[in-house]
Amino acid sequence: MQLTATNPKTLARSIGILVDRTVADTPTLGNVWMIDSDKVATCAHLALSYHNYLQALAVRFPHNGKQYGVEKAMFHPRFDKHAVGQLVQVALTEPTQTLPLQQHNAVVLQLKEELPALTDTMVWKVNKNLSLPVPPRDQGLGGNLGEIDLYVVIQTITNARKEGVLIICDDRNHPMARVFCQNGRVMYAQFRNLNNEMAIYQIVNRDLKGNFFFWTADSPNWDVQAPIARPADMLLIEAHRRVDELKGMIARLGNLHSLFVRKQEEPHLEVIPSESKDYVRMIWPLLDGGTPVGQLWQLTGIDDYAIVASLLELVATGQVETLKEDLVLPTDSNAIIPPLDLAVHVPLEPWDKITNVYLDTDTMRPMVRQGCLLGQLREEDKWHLLHNVRLIPEATGSPLFKDGKVIGMHCGGLPPNYGNRSENNLQAMLWVESIVECLRGGGDDETANKLTLMEMPRLKETGEVAPEKRLDEATAQQSLSISRKAPGCREVARLDCPKCGRTSLESARFCKSCGQELIRETAYSKPARKPPVYLVLSCLILLAVVAGGLFLSSLPTPVLVTTKPTVIRDSAPLTMDVFRQAFKADSNIGYWKKEGPETIFKEKDLIHLAFSTRESCFVYLIYRGASKAADMPALIYPVSPVSDKELSKGFSFTIPSDVDEPVNEKDHHLLGLEVSGPPGAETFLAVCSSRKLKLLGNSSATERVFRKADTLLGKDGGNKGKEVLVSDLGEKDLAVDESGSTKDGKLASSAQDDSIYICRWVVEHR
C-alpha cells in the first residue's frame, strides 16, 4: 500500500524516530521514514557509529506504538565512512557543525519485528566505543556539572585568570557548549546556534549536567564576533535571574510545547516595547505552528527567556494565537506502517513549494513546516540541494514533500557565516534518488526497481501503459510529459549576495560580482577548522601506523640534506609497536601479544598501537588511505592542542589511550581497535621536529607537506628515512619560532632552517 494523500497527519504515520537504546533516557538520534514494508531511510551519519552495534538501535513509530530492531544498514556507496568517522571521533577541542552536511549522507535501515535484548556487555561496549577520549588530567580542569555548579567552575577559572576553553559535554564526552575565558573574563561562548550572552543564558536555563573540561588556549576555536562586555559575575547573575522569572512567564503563556500562529502577515512593532522589537522580528517568520515554543531557540539567535517574553507581548497585543488543531497521531497497535511515495521521476525547479513533516521527540506530534526548494548546492551536483525550510537538529533525516510525494531528505542547516547572516535560512537536503542508490549499493535491486517504478509506470516503445499499472489517458499523457524532462533539480540555487545584492546562478558558493562567500564549504575534504583525529571506526589508518612502527627500529642512519650544522641522528626518533589480542590456551582470557614485522592482520583482529620517543621532539603522523575516498592525507596525531606539544625522551603512549579495563578482581576487558576495511596499500608518513609545526587544524597544509615529503623521499627512500630542512617542504612559515621572535607577523627565518626527520612506509594488507 502506498500513501498518496497530502494531509500531513496522514503522511506522518510513515515517519518514526531512531533511538539509542544503550543510554538511560534513550536519546533520539533523528527521524526516519518508511520506504518499503521493512525498510526506512535516514541520514547516514546518525547510524555510522553504530554500524558494528546495530542491536543498540531501535526505530519507533507513534502510529502503532511499536519498536523495531535494525537488522542491516545499507549506506550510500559514495558516502565516505572513513572521513565522517574522523568527524564522529573529533577531538574535544573542535566543533563539528558540518557533520550532517557530508556528501551522500544517506542510509537505508532494514528493520526486524523482534527487538534483541541488550546485555550488560553490549551496553558497555557501545558506550566505550562511542565515547570520545578524555583529555589528560594534568592538562587542565575536569569534572561533571552534576557534582559542581557551572557558576563555581567559571568563577574558579576567572578568579585564577586562566586563559583557555571550557567545554561542556554529554556523558560520552561529545561537546555541547564552549566558553572561552581570558584575563579573568568570559570572552566568548557558544551553545548550538547561540553565541556569547545568549549562549550563557541558555546553558544556565537548560541546566546542562554533562562532563566539563578546561585547557589552556590563546584563542577560541570557533568563529566569533565582538566579545562579551559584561563581567563574569554579572553575566551569571543575569542568567540566574532569567531562569527564575522564566518559570512564571511560561505558566502565563501555556507551556513550552505550545504552538503559535500569526494572525496577520507582518507584526505591528509600534505596540511592542523597544527592548523586544528585535526579538519579535527574529521569531515572527517561525510562528506558523510548525515549531514548539521550547524549540524556537534552536532556530533563532536568542534564548528561551527572550522568546517567551516576546510571545507574551504578541499575545497581549492580539497578534498571535495558539494553534487549536489537534496534531496528536491516533495510535493503532494493529496498524501496518505504509511506505511513502518517492518522486524519483519528478522534475524539480527552484522555488517549488515544498513541505517538511517531522516528529517532535518530546510529544511525538507531527510538526509541519513549509518553504521552497532553492536549487543545487554545487554546479553539476544533482544529489545535494538547498531549501529554506528552517528545521531543528532533531528533524534531521525527515522527508521533504512536493504534492504529497517525497522529493528528498533533510540533512541539516548550513553552518553560520558571520560575513553573511542571511544564510541561516539555508538548509541542505538529499535528492530522493540517493535512497535508491543506497538500495542498489546494498545489493537490494529488487526494492530499488520497485521504488523507481512506483511513482510512474513504465511505457513500452509503442506508448502502451504496462498492464499492471494502467492509468487513464490524461494521467498517461501527463506521465509522458514528465518523462521528457530530466528528473530532480538541475539549476544551482539563486542566492542574493548580502554585500552587493546581485543574484548568483552559476555557483551557489560565491557571488559572481563581488566575490562574497555565500555558502561555506561543507565537504570534509576541505574543512575550515576540522583537524582529523585518530580513527576508532577506521582501522585502515591505524594499520598504516602499525606497519610504520614495525620498520622504524631497523632504520639505518639517515642522510643529511642541509648545509646547516645539526646533529645527525643514528636512529629514528620515534618507535611504534603493534599488539594483537590473543587468548591463553583452553580459556577465554585475553591478553596483548606483541607482533613482529611479518604479521599479516586479518578482518576482526583487535589491536592497539604503542609509541615511544627516542629523543625529545614534536611528532606529526600523516596518513593516506588506499581507497579513492581516503586519498586525502590526514593528520592523525596530534589530535588537539592539548597533545600538540614537545614529547620528552622516552615518552610513551598508546592508541587507544586505554587498552585494558578491569571489570572485577578476576576479569577485565581489552580495549582496542578492530581491523576492518578492504585490502590495499596504505601510506603512513612521520614528521619529527624540534619545533612545533603549523599542521594541526590545517588540512590543506597537511596535504601539501605530505605530498612534498613523499616526493623528497622518492620511490625507494621511504623506509630509510631522510633528514631535510623545514623549508624543503615548501610551506612558508611552517615551523613555530619558540622564542616568539616575529617581524611583520612572520616567523624568524631560523625556524625554517631547522632540520626535521621524515620517514614513509607503504603497507599492503588483505
Over residues 333-363, the pLDDT tens digits come to 888 899 999 999 899 999 999 999 999 888 8
- Model pLDDT for residues 149-188, shown as the tens digit of each residue: 888 899 989 998 889 899 998 888 888 899 999 988 999 9
Give pLDDT, residue 397: 95
Among 69-78, 112-121, 658-667, name the one with the lowest average pLDDT: 658-667
| Of 94-108, 226-240, 495-509, 626-640, the least confident | 495-509
pLDDT attached to residue 219: 85
pLDDT of residue 190: 92
Under a CB-based contact definition with an 8 Å cutoff, are residues 82 and 118 in contact?
no
In sequence order, the β-bridge partners of residue 348 are 489
Q: pLDDT band for 628, please (50, 70, 90 cuts).
A: low
CB atoms within 10 A of CB 224: 16
Pairwise CA distance, residues 455 & 17, whole Å: 25
- The answer to whether 167 and 140 have CB atoms below 8 angstroms apart is no
pLDDT band at 112 (very low <50, low <70, confident <90, very high): very high
Give the highest mean pLDDT range of 22-26, 240-244, 497-501, 602-606.
240-244
Gap between the Cα atoms of 696 and 52, Å rounded: 30
Per-residue cell: 677: 576495511
The winner for highest mean pLDDT among 427-441, 494-508, 602-616, 742-756 is 427-441
Element (H, E) at 593: strand 590-594
Which pLDDT does position 320 carry in this prediction?
93
* DSSP code for 255: -
Band of the pLDDT at 8, cuts 50, 70, 90?
confident
Q: What's the confidence (pLDDT) of residue 675?
A: 67
The residue among 465, 362, 449, 345 whose CA lies nearest residue 405 is: 345
DSSP 8-state class, residue 492: B
pLDDT for position 536: 34
Q: Looking at the predicted structure, is the pLDDT value of residue 28 above 50?
A: yes
DSSP string, 17-74: EEEETTSTT--EEEEEEEEETTEEEE-HHHHGGGTT-GGGEEEEETTTTEEEEEEEEE
Residue 559 to residue 569: CA distance in whole angstroms: 9
The answer to whether the beta carbons of residues 397 and 32 sit under 8 Å apart is yes
Helix crossing, 433-441 with 445-454: angle to 10°? 160
Residue 100 has a pLDDT of 76
Determine the Cα–Cα distance for residues 281 and 432; give it in Å rounded to an integer.
Answer: 34
Please report which helix (H) or strand (E) contains residue 176, including its range.
Answer: strand 175-182
Cβ atoms within 10 A of the Cβ of 596, count? 8
* Per-residue pLDDT at 461: 36
Give the Cα separation of 624 and 44 in Å (integer).
23
SS3 482: helix
- The pLDDT assigned to 410 comes to 95
At residue 704, the 3 state secondary structure works out as helix
For residue 294, give the DSSP letter: G
Cis, peptide link before residue 638, omega less than 30° from 0: yes
The stretch 741-752 carries a mean pLDDT of 52
> Which residues have C-beta within 8 Å of that of residue 357, sequence separation ≥ 6?
8, 11, 12, 15, 366, 367, 368, 398, 399, 401
Mean pLDDT of all residues in 191-202: 92
pLDDT confidence of residue 185: 92
Query: What is the pLDDT at residue 24?
Result: 76
Q: Do residues 58 and 67 lie in contact, with contact meaning Cβ atoms separated by under 8 Å?
A: yes
Q: What is the rounded average pLDDT for all residues in the chain?
A: 78
Mean local confidence (pLDDT), 404-430:
74
**Exposure on the CB side of residue 511, measured as CA atoms within 13 A:** 16
From the list 693, 712, 589, 8, the residue with the least C-alpha distance to 290 is 8
pLDDT at 306: 95
β-strands 107-112, 39-42 pairing = antiparallel
Determine the distance from the C-alpha atom of residue 214 to the mean position of all C-alpha atoms in its chain, rounded to a whole number: 22
Average pLDDT over residues 454-481: 44
Residue 497 neighbours by CB distance under 10 Å: 20
pTM exceeds 0.75, yes or no: no
Q: Please give the angle made by the CA atoms of 27, 32 and 35, to the nearest 5 degrees.
A: 160
Residue 553 has a CB neighbour count (10 Å cut-off) of: 13
- pLDDT at position 387: 93
The pLDDT value recorded for residue 266 is 93
If one compares 584 and 69, the residue with the highest pLDDT of the two is 69
- In whole angstroms, what is the distance from residue 49 CA to residue 132 CA? 12
The three-class DSSP label of residue 737 is coil
pLDDT for position 418: 38
Burial 735-759 (b: 16+ CB within 10 A, else e): bbbeeeeeeeeebbeebbebbbbbb
Q: Average the pLDDT over 632-639 and give the result.
A: 81
Contact 181, 128 (CB under 8 A): no
Mean pLDDT, range 516-538, rounded to an integer? 41
Strands 618-624 and 652-655: unpaired
Q: Mean per-residue pLDDT for 398-418? A: 85
Amino acid 497 reads: C
Mean pLDDT of 39-43: 95
> How much is the pLDDT for 271?
93
Residue 563 pLDDT class (50, 70, 90 cuts) = very low
Task: Name the least confident of 84-88, 122-126, 429-433, 491-495.
Answer: 84-88
Return the ∠ at Cα 632 (arms to 630 and 635), rounded to 5°: 100
Query: Which DSSP letter does residue 348 get?
Result: E
Separation CA 280–CA 268 (nearest Å): 10
With cell 544551482, the residue in question is 492
SS3 649: coil
Q: What is the pLDDT of residue 543?
A: 41
pLDDT in tens, 587-613: 777 889 988 767 777 777 788 778 888
Mean predicted confidence (pLDDT) in 263-272: 92
DSSP string covering 70-105 = EEEEEE-TT--HHHHHHHHT--TTS--TTGGGSTT-
With bands split at pLDDT 50, 70 and 90, how would you rate the model's confidence at 663? low
Residue 147 has pLDDT above 90, yes or no: no
Q: What angle do CA 352, 354, 360 make, to 5 degrees?
A: 165
Q: Please, which pLDDT band fits residue 132 given cuts at 50, 70 and 90? A: confident
Q: Collect all residues with Cβ–Cβ distance below 8 Å to 269 and sequence separation of at least 6.
A: 277, 280, 281
Model confidence at 262: pLDDT above 90:
yes
What is the reported pLDDT for 606? 81
What would the mean pLDDT of 221-236 be, rounded to a whole number? 88
What percent of the chain has a predicted confidence (pLDDT) above 70? 75
pLDDT at 743: 40
Mean pLDDT (whole number) for 267-294 = 92
